[in-house]
Amino acid sequence: MTQYALFETAIGWAGLAWGADGLVAAHLPDATPEIARKSFTRRFPEIVEGSPPAYVLDAIDRIRALMLGKPADLTGVPIEMGRVPDFNAQVYAIARAIPPGETLTYGQIAEKLGDKLLARDVGAALGQNPWPIVVPCHRVTAAGGKLGGFSARGGVNTKARLLAIEGAKALEPPPPKPARTRAAAQAPQPSLFD
């Protein structure tokens, strides 16, 4: 049975979901617990809120510490890597080894995989990461000091905020927000990181 728990961090409400063999998903901090809850119920229709086992409680404590800018290691948190394609699992294993405050580029990960031409594939795999923070995809950037993309709510602004909290070396600032169109004004996507 897949279960989840929501928890408050210094920058908003986050969540972790787990199955029999480890975490199956994570939700980055957001404005309300309802956003995280909907994220899990949309991905896992049979999911139920539950009491976290010890390793999930430990992960929650470590994520809270990270969101306060404190060093915390999440590499030992079990995740159900069998749920993702082999290539993605290889990318995630490399990304998990990046310590807080450090970054690798998509190209550097591609080179570690044996082919620098895989950089776009690395980006695509990270865009499908079900465990953000635990698999710190925000620590993977584009070449030349650019942030690159980020598929989570808030986009590159969320990535920049997470890197700043962790004390990462200065990167290119996020691009200015585009002027809102009438359609965008009618359907805002709130984020703590905008």
Whether residue 31 contacts residue 137, with contact meaning beta carbons closer than 8 Å, is answered with: no
Alpha carbon 109 to its chain centroid, in Å, reads: 17
Alpha carbon 182 to its chain centroid, in Å, reads: 30
Max distance between CA atoms of the chain, in angstroms, equals 47
Distance from C-alpha of 15 to C-alpha of 39, rounded to nearest angstrom: 9
Alpha carbon 20 to its chain centroid, in Å, reads: 21
Q: What residue has token string 């929650």? A: 60
Q: What residue has token string 């394609």? A: 85
User: Which residues, 6 or more positions from 96, have their beta carbon under 8 angstroms from its beta carbon?
Assistant: 74, 75, 134, 135, 136
Task: Give the residue numbers marked as catalytic.
Answer: 137
